[in-house]
Structure 1
Amino acid sequence: MAVGRIYSSFIGATIKPHPRTLVLRLFFANWLFYSLVITASYQAYLGSLVTVPQQDPQIDDQLDLLKSNIQIAGSTQMFYVLNASREVSQEFDELLDRPIHLLVLISVPICSSQDIDLESQANSLDHFVPAFKLVDSTNGSNGFCLLGKDESSNSKGHQMKVYANLFDFLSSNSGIDHPLCEECTDTLLDMMDKELKNTKQDFQEYSDFLKTLDSESNSEEDLEFLTKELNDLKCEEERLLGELSKLKNEEQEIEREIKTADEEKERIKQDEEKYWSEYCKYQYELAQTEEQQKSLELQLQYSLSQLNKFKSTNVFNATFHIWHSGHFGTINNFRLGTLPSAPVDWSEINAAWGQTALLLTALARKLNLTFQRYRIVPYGNHSYIEDTTEHKNLPLFASGGAKFFWDTKFDMAMVAFLDCLQQFKEELEKGDSEFHLPYNMDSKGKIEDETTGNTYSVKYQFNSQEQWTKALKFMLTNLKWGLAWVSSQFKNQFQDL
């Protein structure tokens, strides 16, 4: 009851008009009350194990219990008692130095205090901390209640049940299991004394701080003045920060300009070095150029003399030398054909076909002749003929092997070449009706020897090597005659090729 009155009077005495002071004092009151309850509970446990006489005096109310020195419960029962003070107005130190024995039960009413509804005023406070509540009681208030003798607690079973409940309650509300032995109790007492000392020190510090707050002026005018001053300082801070940011930007800009100037200086220095280096280089190149000019003048004189020589030379005869080697017709020393007794490698045959295709293409271009159905594409030893009607390429080269005997494209390419040669012959006869090639040709790939009346096919498949080689030799002979006719007609125009 004394603790409850101290708690209630402390709350009522510290309520001030200023909201900050009110909230702070409420927090101090809750903290003080909770510390008193925990400290007093453990000290009561250590010092108040007593026996009760057979005839207990009549205790009607809490005041009789305060004035008495009665021991409550049976001779072997242990209860936890609270050390309280008879004088409520004395300091907290005197409260702990004047113990009387009170039986306490946590979570039941102790006494009523002044009802102050702070929760309804929470919106007007800077910060509101609700009062600490152990367990809600049935009548709506919190605290402790003093109990008298219970006639129904004489049985041993009831006493053991009370002990068990008390021990369980203490164990559940602390980090220590109860009951404690004597050694543990001494240790716990030392800990509680130390905690009490720290609590007193904290209480004194909070009290001093509270007095400091009370002594300070809390008038609205001062608050408005301070608020205005704070706003002015914030505005000044923003202005200074803006100026600082502006100065930093200017500093960065100046640093960039300095860096740019340094880079420009370095670039100009490099350009100067490069200029002198190039100047020396150009002087050296000028001297070399003058020497080369003299050399080129001499080369030009030699070239002019060679040009005059080349003008009198037959370009086709010099470029494409068609002759024979035994049974083979040759072009630029490449044999065109093969024999069982004198086999020729296919790479040489392909090269000969490439030279033949190039010669016929050059002669046709000289006559402005465009072949019908075909277009010859000279490509070295991989030359081919493009069929413009069927849009396919016919190779003028082969590699032999088993696959070659079943591939007819090579034969089709040679037949197409002979067809182009026949068109070239017809173009020559248009310019000179008396001109005739020594061997007749047709579009089916056959060449006729008029002296013997024999015909030979340019196809490789289903043909003997002798017949095929002789047909190619006759074809080169016709091409050589056509070359001679073109050379005679355009003797003075070979330099245009």
Structure 2
Amino acid sequence: MSQEEKDVYVSFACQSCMQPIVLDESLDNIDVHSMAELSLPIYSGSSKTLDTEDVSAFDHFVPPYPLSDSINGTDFMLVSDGRDKKLSNTFKLKAELFDCLSSNSEIDHPLCGECADSILESMDQELKVAEQEWRDYKNYLERLEQQQDRPNIPALERELIELQENEKRMLSELEKLKKEEKSLNEEIKREEEEKVKLQKQEAIYWREYTKHRRELMLTEDDKKSLECQISYAEQQLEKLKDANIFNITFHIWHAGHFGTINNFRLGRLPSAAVDWSEINAAWGQTVLLLSSLARKIGLTFERYRIVPFGNHSYVEVIGENRELPLYGTGGFKFFWDTKFDAAMVAFLDCLTQFREEVEKRDTEFLLPYKMEKGKIIDPSTGNSYSIKIQFNSEEQWTKALKFMLTNLKWGLAWVSSQFAND
């Protein structure tokens, strides 16, 4: 086979899968009658023939592929698209044949073997379905022809009229239902909008609820804390009710030969040289105690006014504008300075006035040591001890101060007993 013949065979593509196909050689031997039929116009009234050089006249013509390829192992060369030169008569006849076939059926030609087989199978199925429908219609027609009673046309017409009226009524009802549906849809839309609003309000409510719930929990915690504090305060109050402020504030005791107040020693011994700062502090506590006791029972001292001023407390002589210091700054004996001695005598006088005031209120009250004119007398021995430093020994002076603190402790106990509920 020549190269030109190969070109003719492969100048068409399958109209289904668009793959190039090789035409059968029998298409080359078309008889004269067939060629005369093919020379007739494909469409009535059409003046175009294949003699024209307009390639667009082939309605279903697919240009050949300008490619080199191999199909089923057979080598061939695809020709060019052929638009720039005249086609051969044989190629035109084949193209018109395929165009005629395509025009007279719903299938475009040419087809390859596989696509043709697939279309034949599909058409076989359609044929079977058509044959089954034909048999069904034929059977139905035979049954109708065998029926002796003819259909009651008037009854059927009346039934048709009724059905038409029912149809009108149903359509009218359908219109009403559509209107109701539209109304319901609008109502649903409003309800949906209301639902969205309620959901937003619900979210706001839950936020507020959570906020207030948290505040409530914090308030309850604060309440419990306050209740615990109140309970503790009440317990402390009960303890304080049983306690006496004087006994707590002023603790009078002794340390060997020394009398002490709040652990400050009052006095000096050759064997125990107490620092004057400690003695002054002890005197300051003593003055504060007597001043507090006198204020508690409403006593105003005559001739003197004791002034608590820490370790620099003093006694003021009323009417003389003179201060007597109840603190020392140097050695034991100061023969040239008698103010300290005068201050201690004045303090003992004030303590005596306190005793006299208490005895007026309580005839059974009695101090363990007598006091008179700057001296303290021990009833058990009858010995008297001067509270002055001049012309006195450290032992005597220290003992007098110890007895004075003892009397002051008794006065403190009496005031505490009288004013226990205050």
With normalisation by structure 2, the TM-score equals 0.46
Q: Which structure has the larger Rg over C-alpha atoms?
A: 2
